[in-house]
Amino acid sequence: MNVAFIGLGIMGRPMAGHLIAAGHSLFLYDITGVPEGLAGTAVSSAAEAARRADIVITMVPDTPHVEAALFGPGGVAEGLSPGKVVVDMSSISPIATKGFAEKINVLGCDYLDAPVSGGEVGAKAASLTIMIGGPQAAFDRVRPLFEAMGKNVTLVGGNGDGQTTKVANQIIVALTIEAVAEALLFAAKAGADPARVRQALMGGFAASRILEVHGERMIQRNFAPGFRIALHQKDLALALDGAKALSVPLPNTAATQQLLHAAIAQGGAAWDHSAILKVLERQADFEIAAPAAARQDAA
């Protein structure tokens, strides 16, 4: 297929690379320039990318960025013609998504909201979970592209339902990261080796992908971003805004959002979201990576 790919950051670059490796022709655009090493065709605007492609994919940070990429000067809408499909793989507002879809539909094109889960690791491994909202026919047309980038590809429902699913995903991920951080901090402060505690828990009912990946990050103190705290803060804001509109209580989501706020206040906007641990450590005046003797003294 001829594919426009707009947004080539931490996630977008490897995703575009998988499409190129699968034999598709890519027209690439990013406001900061196209990274070296991608074998697609760099173009000067999102409009040009859309004009030269049949399928247009956007992968940018937040709702305003998607709106600008689609409808701003030199945006995707300027390059569309009837019959094309626009696929937004960013994580943004479900409500705004429905409005974007309506505008794209007026131009004679289909729209799919297709946010992903799996972070940088999943993007590089082509193992992303992709949750899609939109018409069945458009999904069937684009599915080969999804399957080149991910493993768990699901059409959830109509436009907006993909983004709603991603918000639900981000609630679960944030609260589970926070739970793992609390558990490892508790264990370490009590004098146990958090690495061995994690190893033991991986064989029980508490086992999870979060404990596996982010628990290891916490122990190794590797907070280089796979998924930045600022982006997860944005996602939980979407959850809490939606909950307010729906009159749904999300008390633990709200509490975890406060930890993300605190991390950003500490200069951690670009930390990986596993660095929620650092906020809890500051409150406890204790780091889980402290030497065993220090942990024993603190206990």
Give catalytic residues, as residue numbers: 166
236 closest CA partner among 258, 263, 211, 218: 258
Q: Residue 83's CB: how many other CB atoms inside 10 A?
A: 9
Helix, strand and coil in the chain, % to nearest 5: 55, 15, 30
CA–CA distance, 272 with 275 (Å, rounded to integer) = 6
Cβ(98)–Cβ(160) below 8 Å: yes
Would you say 159 and 111 are in contact if contact means Cβ atoms under 8 Å apart? yes
CA distance 98 to 183: 39
C-alpha–C-alpha distance, residues 267 and 271, integer Å = 8
- Between CA 238 and CA 116, with CA 178 as vertex, the angle to 5 degrees is 45
Q: Contact at 8 Å (CB) between 112 and 162?
A: yes
- Rounded Cα distance between 29 and 5, Å, is 6
Check if the beta carbon of residue 272 is closer than 8 Å to that of residue 217.
yes
Q: What is the DSSP letter of 259?
A: H
Q: What phi and psi values does residue 256 have, to the nearest 5 degrees?
A: -70, -35
* Backbone phi and psi for residue 152, each to the nearest 5 degrees, phi listed first: -110, 95
